Amino acid sequence: MGARAGANFFQKLIDYSPAAKDQDFIEVIMHSNSMIPDRTRAIAYDECSPLNELIRSVKMLNACEVDLIVLTCNTAYFYYRDFIYHSDAPILNPAHLLRQFVEENDFRSIGLLGTTGTMNSRIFCNELEAINRRVVRLSKWEQENIFMRSVYMENGLKSSVISEEAIDLMYQAANLLISRGADLIVGGCSEVSIALQPDLLPLPYIDTMDLMAKTSVRVCYGHQSTTHKPLLYHGLQTN
């Protein structure tokens, strides 16, 4: 969800793994489910729900007896209370991971880039505001005509071939948040890190896919427990 986001996450798992040979890498089963309806259109415009396909993916992974599940679409976490009960394995929670990162590094004003579905669902905003952080957002016009255009335009960030215009638009979105006082830029959509290079930004940048990839590596190599409640959705657990 989508194909490029899944491939990008898989590459991060490889990059962050301490493997010395093929047999040291994490065993990974990836379901690139192209049948899942667009999550943002479902949330923002009340179009076809992705829930049934999300549940189908979870059940497929259950059958493979996986130890940990990661969704490489932040917007899909809007539905977690509906699909979590179908999972036999823990599911990483990007909103809780971001909250922990912000607290540990004492950022105060968070510039959040995400799809309209992610922003409307408030999955990140609620966590950040709960710890008294200011969330800096794009205006409604900027959200649709700069950020969403970057992602969904022809040759946008969801495409197999990405245009320079799509990348430039994402930098415009980030710079708007910087101009409004953000002290951290957060990529709250899987496609953001495809466009933005942290060393080209004047502020610290964190990508939620990075947080989930690093946590996945720690868990799978036994350096972090899957029962750590702030990090995971697990079975009937809801917080």
Pairing mode of beta strands 184-187, 205-207: parallel
Residue 238 lies in a domain: no
My answer on whether 21 and 105 are in the same domain is no
My answer on whether 178 and 218 are in the same domain is no
Range of weakest confidence among 106-110, 221-225, 234-238? 234-238
Domain containing residue 85: CATH number: 3.40.50.1860
**Predicted confidence (pLDDT) per residue in 175-226, tens digit:** 999 999 999 999 999 889 899 999 999 999 999 999 999 999 999 998 765 5
Residue 239 lies in a domain: no
Residue range of the domain that includes 225: 3-92+210-233
Tell whether the model's pLDDT for residue 1 goes beyond 80: no
Q: 83 or 103: whose pLDDT is higher?
A: 103
Q: Model confidence at 2, in pLDDT bands (50, 70, 90)?
A: confident
Count of structural domains, the chain: 2
Tell whether the model's pLDDT for residue 238 goes beyond 90: no
My answer on whether 226 and 203 are in the same domain is no
My answer on whether 202 and 215 are in the same domain is no
Share of the chain above pLDDT 70, in %: 93
**Predicted confidence (pLDDT) per residue in 21-66, tens digit:** 999 999 999 999 999 998 988 988 889 999 999 999 999 999 999 9
Tell whether the model's pLDDT for residue 237 goes beyond 80: no
My answer on whether 192 and 215 are in the same domain is no
My answer on whether 144 and 166 are in the same domain is yes
Residue 226: predicted pLDDT: 55
